[in-house]
Structure 1
Amino acid sequence: MGVEYVSRVPRPPLDGLIDDLYYLEGAPPYARLTLPPSPSALLIVNLGAPFRIRAGIDIETAEYADGCVVTMPTRAFEFGYPPETRSVGVHFKPWGPAPFLPMPAAELCDRPVTVEQVWGRPAIAELRDRLATAAGPDEMLTLLEEELMRRLCETAGLGLVRHTSSVIAATSGAVAIGDLSVAAGVSSTHLAQRFKELIGVTPKRLARTYRFTATVFAIDPAGPIDWGDLAGGAGYFDQAHFGHEFRAFTGLTPTRYVEVRRRFLREHPGHALDGWPLPAD
């Protein structure tokens, strides 16, 4: 069995917080997948067997039965899947989870938590029951969207963080961080505090992540790669700086990354999950 993947953009105002809602069912391409950090956050409501997450090489693997919430990470995570997986989820913009969290995002940075820890056991149990008896993926995504709309609340500082993050995103991270606070009319300390509260990382870290992500998406693993041109075009000081960032974000050298990406393309051409996850086996 392959993978069934259905996604859609939610209606306003959720579309200002969320890139898409998705439904996923089937056999993962690999039992373990590595997800390098990206400028996004994730909510998974699990409807199948438990999955596992290792949030860094120095962290013990943890099991998640009801699902998980992952704010914007700063390190690569390893996901371990059962032979068959079934879930619905949310791909948030970096600031997206903030209106749905009972705690500052900084407390969850690189610390995935269960959905129960965020929304409580009765709420997630009831939501999972409703999702499990839904008629199909479309109805499931509607139920998830309705739950998010019901939980949406006002969040202090969200407008500031969202606008500043959008400027960072529009430049793929190539923006002077000091200029951002000046343009926003706040101190750099205040801006950094708001970012930590609502995203979990500083503006500088978000910019680094946007730059790295844009650079990776510029790589065509099917063709020859001029690493010097790629590094220079992305604004890295030199190839050594680029290589250091690559290892910090993925745990791999650039050439090893391409080898792994080519393996995924070769073994699972056209797969729904191709693009960012990497086989960890």
Structure 2
Amino acid sequence: MQYVGRVPSPPLDGFIDDMYCLTGVPRHRRMNVPPMPSAHLFVNLGGPVRLWDSDPSVPPAVFVDGWFMGVWTRRFLIEYPTRVRLVGVHFKPWGISPFVGMPAAELRDRWVPVDAVWRRSLDRIHNRVGDIASAAETLRVLEEELRSRLAEAPSRGLTLVRHAGGRLETSHGVVPVGALADAAGVSGNHLATLFKSHVGVTPKRVARIYRFARLIVSVDAQRPVDWSVLAQTAGYFDQAHLSREFKDFTGHSPTEYLALRRRFPAARGFPPDIGPMPTD
């Protein structure tokens, strides 16, 4: 499967980490995806995609046209079709807010059909891309649509959330949440309320996910791994704290995860986003 991705130009890069196209035959059809510091948009141009929540009480879903996802606080499973043609957007945790016209809390740990949020945009993308557009052209069309959907005036509190969220991003979740509130000149409760509105979760939860994302990217499966050193570097209290977080977010122990990474190394040409792992 081919991956083509890029960072959009300003001002979209203040809300979006990257945009990408996946095309071709997947090496692994089912992927276990842990929480990552992103909200998502997927526009599906291929066969139906199936999703399962790690919460067994949530029924699975099948999407033909695509879906929006807010920040996830637990893992989920995605099953690709036999041939993939999918264009995606990794929003920053707060980045989806000015594009969807709904509270981010309504997208937390949920997938919502893209046509329920972006009916006209979805039609325009399909009409302009068709069946033969290249990955570069598909990304250009999607970027133009995102630019047209970006609210001209930020909604209440978004500027503050962007600033505080940016500090969490650059510190990999290590900066104390109390320090964020103090720097913003607001109470911790007020900051949490704004985060719930624009991110869907509290800043403490965002910090936790950033910390785990740093840990995942730090793992070099080709070398011996000292989990105690990684735990300290990523800001965990100790190795036991890291192990509990790992099991909660991936369903695996650190040792089990490392064995999977060694068994299924990342495909050539893909970015170093190595959180998702095959289930087979």
TM-score above 0.5, yes or no: yes
How far apart, in 1, do the equivalents of 2:76 and 2:244 lie?
18
Structure 1 unmatched runs, 5+ = none
How far apart, in 2, do the equivalents of 1:134 and 1:192 lie?
45
The amino acid of 1:17's aligned partner reads F
Cα shift readout 1:218-241 (whole Å, capped 9, x = no counterpart): 111111111222222322222211
How far apart, in 1, do the equivalents of 2:9 and 2:269 lie?
27
Q: Is the 8 A contact 1:42 1:70 kept in 2?
A: yes
How far apart, in 1, do the equivalents of 2:170 and 2:146 lie?
27
Residue in 2 that maps onto 1:174 = 174
- Within a 5 Å distance, the mapping from 1:1-281 to structure 2 comes to 3-58=1-56, 59-120=58-119, 122-133=120-131, 135-153=133-151, 154=153, 155-265=155-265, 269-270=267-268, 272=270, 275-281=274-280
The amino acid of 1:56's aligned partner reads S
The amino acid of 1:188's aligned partner reads G
Change (3 A) 1:180 1:126: same
How far apart, in 2, do the equivalents of 1:83 and 1:62 lie?
17
How far apart, in 2, do the equivalents of 1:171 and 1:134 lie?
42
The amino acid of 1:169's aligned partner reads E
Q: Is the 8 A contact 1:227 1:239 kept in 2?
A: yes
Cα shift readout 1:176-195 (whole Å, capped 9, x = no counterpart): 11111111011111111111
Structure 2 unmatched runs, 5+ = none
Q: RMSD of the TM alignment (CA)? A: 1.6
The amino acid of 2:72's aligned partner reads P
Q: Is the 8 A contact 2:213 2:275 kept in 1?
A: no
How far apart, in 1, do the equivalents of 2:219 and 2:51 lie?
27
Q: Is the 8 A contact 2:3 2:269 kept in 1?
A: no
| CA-CA distance at 1:55 after TM superposition | 2.4
The amino acid of 1:116's aligned partner reads D
The amino acid of 2:9's aligned partner reads R
With normalisation by structure 1, the TM-score equals: 0.93
| CA-CA distance at 1:207 after TM superposition | 0.5
How far apart, in 2, do the equivalents of 1:231 and 1:140 lie?
40
Cα shift readout 1:48-74 (whole Å, capped 9, x = no counterpart): 111011122422210011111111111
| CA-CA distance at 1:271 after TM superposition | 5.4
Q: Is the 8 A contact 1:71 1:200 kept in 2?
A: yes
Q: Is the 8 A contact 1:134 1:140 kept in 2?
A: no
| CA-CA distance at 1:198 after TM superposition | 0.7
The amino acid of 2:77's aligned partner reads E
SS in 2 for 1:45: strand
How far apart, in 1, do the equivalents of 2:195 and 2:256 lie?
33
The amino acid of 2:136's aligned partner reads D
Q: Is the 8 A contact 1:45 1:128 kept in 2?
A: no
| CA-CA distance at 1:134 after TM superposition | 5.7
**Amino-acid identity (%):** 48
Runs of 4 or more, structure 1, over 3 Å off, are none
Cα shift readout 1:117-167 (whole Å, capped 9, x = no counterpart): 2113x4423322222256422221111111111111032211101100111
| CA-CA distance at 1:30 after TM superposition | 0.8
- Across the two proteins, how many residue pairs are aligned to each other? 276
Cα shift readout 1:74-109 (whole Å, capped 9, x = no counterpart): 111110111101011211111111111121111110
With normalisation by structure 2, the TM-score equals: 0.94
